[in-house]
């Protein structure tokens, strides 16, 4: 007897999630969110005249972005 492979599209909830993700990707939601947050972060650094290395800038941005998204998810 052959084992059945899991097809995420057999699950209606998974199918809906995949369709929603595809739509979000087509609308470039990730790119728009990333551009918005990067611009706001860069503006903050300019306005505060903060000078950091590229690695520090990237690390701080990552930490800030993670905290922002964790907060968003917690508020759902």
Q: Is the pLDDT of residue 42 over 70?
A: yes
**Count of domains forming the chain:** 1
45 contact partners, CB below 8 Å, separation of at least 6? 52, 57
pLDDT at residue 12 in the model: 84
pLDDT at residue 1 in the model: 47
7 located within any domain:
no
2 contact partners, CB below 8 Å, separation of at least 6? none
Domain span at residue 52 reads: 30-76
10 located within any domain:
no
76 located within any domain:
yes
pLDDT at residue 7 in the model: 65
54 located within any domain:
yes
């Amino acid at each position: 007897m052959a084992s059945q492979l899991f097809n995420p599209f057999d699950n209606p909830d998974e199918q809906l999630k995949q369709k929603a993700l595809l739509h979000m990707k087509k609308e470039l939601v990730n790119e728009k969110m990333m551009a918005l947050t990067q611009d706001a972060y860069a503006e903050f650094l300019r306005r505060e005249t903060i000078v950091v290395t590229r690695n520090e800038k990237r690390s701080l941005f990552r930490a800030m972005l993670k905290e922002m998204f964790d907060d968003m998810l917690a508020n759902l």
